[in-house]
Structures are given as structure tokens and as C-alpha cells.
Amino acid sequence: MSRRGRRRWRRRVVRAALLLALIYAAGGYLTSRVGPRPATVLQPDDPTAPAASTGLVIRVADPAAAPLTGWLASGVEVRGALSVHSGRSHDAEGTFDEIGSAAERAGLDFVMLGDHPGAWLFEPGALDPVHNHGVLLVPGQEMVIPGSGRVLAVGLEADTVVERWEGSVRDLTDRIEAVDGYVSVVHARSPRGRERWQAGLDAPGIDAWETLDVSEIARIRLADRWAGYHIGSFLFGLVTGTADGPVLRLNREGTAAPGLLAYDSARAGESLTLVAGLNHHPKARIAGRLIPPYTPFFRTFVNHVVLDRPLSDDPREARRELARGLRDGQVFVSLGDAPKAAGFRFGRLDHETLVVRLPPEATGRYLVRLLRNGRDVGWVPAEGGSALTVRVPGPGIYRVEVARAGVPLGPWRYGLRPWILSSAVDMDAA
């Protein structure tokens, strides 16, 4: 082959590779943003709409006049991240100062750490909560319960902490309850069998269930055909300061995420709070910078806890207040755009009426998904800042999800992504 022929051949190979890369990137982009349209859309204030067949009565309410009570009506909302690892874990880097600084940049009020046990547990003051960069850092540990799974345990002190737990789940939860602490299932549906929760869905004494976990979702994505697209998007996001978007789009399962489905099953038997965890492990330092850094992850799965008053200036008292709010279920989770999600509320007005109040700062159109006993009842169109009242047909466990409405594309919908997940509400008989 002549020199000119070799040059032509190389140009063709490069063009073909670029075309294939472009097709692959377009496929990754579209498949992470396009999903099936909701099967059932329930129109409020319309007795002839599909809502009538479900026994629901859905009405648009004036947010200013909706008769909210208790924590629905008032309260101070604090935002934070759960299950974050520092350099105390054997497989992570990161100092408290770096965590506090990153959380401050992300607009968080608290971070609950879930480091792997080690000698650090027995150092003086190792489990003391502290304020750092104006953020409450609450040390906890990711504890393995043999034969059951893993939990995030918060509140144990130096005289009660153990590096490995050999007792039952109930014995551990009793110990944590005695110190006004907090315990949550983590890695509930991990793709790694040794981490997956195996103790059954009754979860005796457990306060919460981490329905989403960035590390679990990332492991699933890195094993599928779109791994290259997600890695490239994330690296580009690190350069442009938009890496939280690619992290959120790792969750291709959306409302069908395994941990979320498991929560609905577990909640049928126990009073569990719905939360989301990060399980973020910075793995290395390059030129003094953590890789991957904390900040973009702190802008993804954010837990909003509604308290009766601002967190105390005393870190120990603040930890107790935070644990109490998490245990009581006064929580919702936002998947990105946490500041605009502030003010969302979902709860019961009486034994037969629920209220959904969309965030006051939300703009545009949304779809509110209503679930009863873990099953999809339907999706209700709603405007940002509006409120809905829902009269339910009978007792059951209800929760809602708020999604950006997106754009219809035949049997598909572009941009329909879950944004807010509520904890479940038990509508028992009067």
C-alpha cells in the first residue's frame, strides 16, 4: 500500500471511530433521559377522570390556606448527607475539614459519617459530633451484623461502642435506642452479596432504610454497556463543575430502584423512615485534591429533616435532635436541586385525607406519583408551588414522588426524572 493509501486508510478509521463514539454517546444520553410514559394519569377536580375508579378524590388546594398541622405546618428544615466515609475508613481518603468545607459549598447543614470500624473507634472523642465550617458532622460507623447485613449506627459512645457486633439486630437497636441514637439499614440491595441486607424485611427496631446509594448504583452502571458514557460524563462534569448531574443520571432505574422497592415492602411491616445514602469514598489524592471529590456528591441525594426548632449550638444536643427527626419520619429526599426542594410537605390532615405541598420555589410542571401499599396508584399533574389534597379510599401505607414532567414522545417521555421522594404515611382507620 502506498503512503497516500495508508493516510486515506487511517483517516477512514479515525472517521469511523469518531462516528461510533458519537452514536454511543447519543445512545447513552438518550437512554439516561427517556423512559416510558406513566400508565395512569389522574386529573384533580374531575370526577369523570381515572381517579374516580381508584376511590381517590384529588383536589387542588391553596397552599396558603391548606389546613396543615404539626410539622407539616411549621418547622425548621435542615439538609444533609448520610453514610459518608472519611480517611478513618481503610478504603477512603478525606479529613473532617475537607468534608465540612465541601458540605458548606453544597449548602448542607449536617453530614452523618459511616466509617468502617477500626482502631480509630477507641480514640478519645472519636465519636463526638463537631461543627466544622458551620456544618454539623456526626461520626457514626458502618457496622456489620453477621447473617443480617450492614447498618449505619450513630450515637454510641466510647464506653458502649464495639468494633464488630455478634448479637442480634434487636439487641443492637435496643442499645442505640437507649442512647437516643439512630440506626439505618445500608446497602439494602447491594449488587455485592456480602453487603446486601439478609435479615428479612421486618427490620426490628431499625429507624430508617437507605433506599438509594450512590456507590451501589455506580457499581451497577460500571458493569453495563453504558459504563464508558457515564465515566466520560462524570470526568467532563468534574472539569466544568457539573459532576452532580452525571452522578444523578447513574440512577437509570428511577422509581424502580431495587432499594426503593424494598423499602415499600419493609414499610408494610415496620415504621421506617425513607432516606438516601451516599456511601461516598474518595479513593485517592492527585496534586492534593481528593478523587472523586465530596462536593458534587453532596449535591445529589440530600435528606431534608424537618425539626421543631433550629439545631442546637451544642453538637451533642444537635445530634439528638437530628436523630429524633430521622426516627420520627419527618424527612423527604431530593435528588438534585436541593435548595429548590425546600418547603415540600406530605402528610395526613385526618384519617382519610392527605396533603401534598410542592416546594414554593419550584417552577414549571410536575407529575406527582401516588403509591398505596407499595403499588402505583397514578400520577397527578401539578404546578410548582401548588398543593393537592387527596381523600383516600381506606387504610393503607401511602407515599408520593415528585418528578419533573418532561416532554411526551409517543409511548415515551423525555426528561421524566424523580426529584422528591417522601417517607411513607400510615393512613390507619379512624
Task: Tell me what the mean pLDDT of segment 42-52 comes to.
Answer: 65
In the three-class reduction of DSSP (H, G, I as helix; E, B as strand; rest coil), residue 415 is classed as: coil
The conformation of residue 310, written as its DSSP 8-state character, comes to P
Q: Give the domain 69-342 fold.
A: TIM Barrel (3.20.20)
Alpha-carbon distances, residue 165 vs 152, 169, 244 (angstroms)? 12, 9, 35
Q: What is the pLDDT of residues 239-276, one digit of tens each?
A: 999 999 999 999 988 888 888 999 998 888 888 999 99
Q: What is the pLDDT of residues 83-123, one digit of tens each?
A: 999 999 999 999 999 999 999 999 999 999 999 999 899 89
CATH code linked to domain 39-61+344-413: 2.60.40
Neighbouring residues of 30: CB distance < 8 A, sequence distance ≥ 6: none
Q: What is the pLDDT of residues 211-229, one digit of tens each?
A: 999 988 988 888 899 999 9
Question: Is this structure's pTM higher than 0.85?
Answer: yes
Nearest partner of 31 among 412, 405, 336, judged by Cα? 412
Residue 348 clears pLDDT 90, i.e. is over it: no
Nearest partner of 300 among 266, 270, 335, judged by Cα? 335
